[in-house]
Amino acid sequence: MSTPSVTQLPTDSPPTEPAATVAETRPARRLLHVVERFGLVFLLLAITAFFALWPGTSDTFATTANLRNILANESILVIAALAALIPLVAERFDLSVGAIVMVSSITTATVVTQLGLPLPLGVLAGMLTGLVIGLVNGVIIAYFNASSLVITLGMSTLLAGVGSYLAGDTTLLGIPDGLAAFGNQYWLGVARPVWLLVVVALAVAYLLGLTVFGRTLLSIGSNESAARLVGLPVARSVMLAFAVSGALAGLAGVLLLARTGSAAAGVGAGYTLPALAAIFLGSTTIKPGRFTVAGTLVGVFSVAISINGLTLAGADDWVEPFFNGAAVVIAVAVSALLAKRRLGGVR
């Protein structure tokens, strides 16, 4: 008896991509990966080179004095941004960072000028002020399940009133020479605030990347429900994140006082949006989709160098707020696009 022949039915599986095509797309994918990770870094280098070579700014932009000034001035913003970065890793916003900078600056100035206490106590008072405010934010947000946006925005408004009460309509002057010297003098050719910035950046990078606390914040930000299920101390970690954020913002306030030599209501409150702009802009580079210290540094100096170059070229006052706002919009849009590409299987 002959065996009946079996008819093979057609399958729905897609045709296999030719090996040559796969080999051709690999370099393109690698190039896309490099652009996604380091595109903002390349842009920063391109902007720096442009203003250094453009005839309209070449005489002033690339000078040692201008570059030193950029680094020293942005050290305050970087520390404020690193303060906001810590709770943001856990997907919590801190919109009170700028207000804490202001109140801490006024507190330090009040302690050393009006109360006549030693400078170390004034610095400690400024940082403790930030720590206490951050702790209040953290307790309300973590243990009352309150919205971080609403609570910190309300705290920012509250602190604006506190700052006006403490300073009134006057500008607090007469800070000790030692504090002014730290804010405006150099060590090994580098402004002293920049050395402080390096120490703070390394400390925050270590805290977020190499400690249990940092890994817990990252787990909360990635999947809070899963973090709770495995027993991570979510509420305590969120509370401590805001406390550390407040202390760093307090340090930024002390540094602001050292740089400017005075404190007044309203001064420093404008750091919140630039800080968030730097963080979100930095989330599009190096490790796209993640808030990192390195990315935040790139974000700060990308905006700062652009604004500095345009200012030297004669741009109007609207340039700075325009860049800060545009940085937030563009960064969030790019982050969403990158996330969509990854979810769609594009590498």
Res 345: pLDDT: 45
Q: Which fold has domain 39-343?
A: ABC transporter involved in vitamin B12 uptake, BtuC (1.10.3470)
A 10 A CB-CB count for 153 gives 17
**Ranges of H-type helices in the chain:** 19-53, 58-61, 64-89, 97-109, 119-143, 148-167, 177-184, 192-210, 212-222, 224-229, 234-260, 272-282, 293-312, 319-343
Asked if residues 256 and 267 have their Cβ atoms less than 8 Å apart, the reply is: yes
- In terms of phi and psi (left: phi > 0; alpha: psi -120 to 50; beta: otherwise), the region of 228 is alpha
Inter-residue contact 267 to 260 (CB < 8 Å): yes
Q: Which residue positions in the chain have pLDDT lower than 50?
A: 1-3, 5-9, 11, 20, 22-24, 345-347
Closest CA to 295 of 305, 284, 303: 284
Specify the pTM.
Answer: 0.87
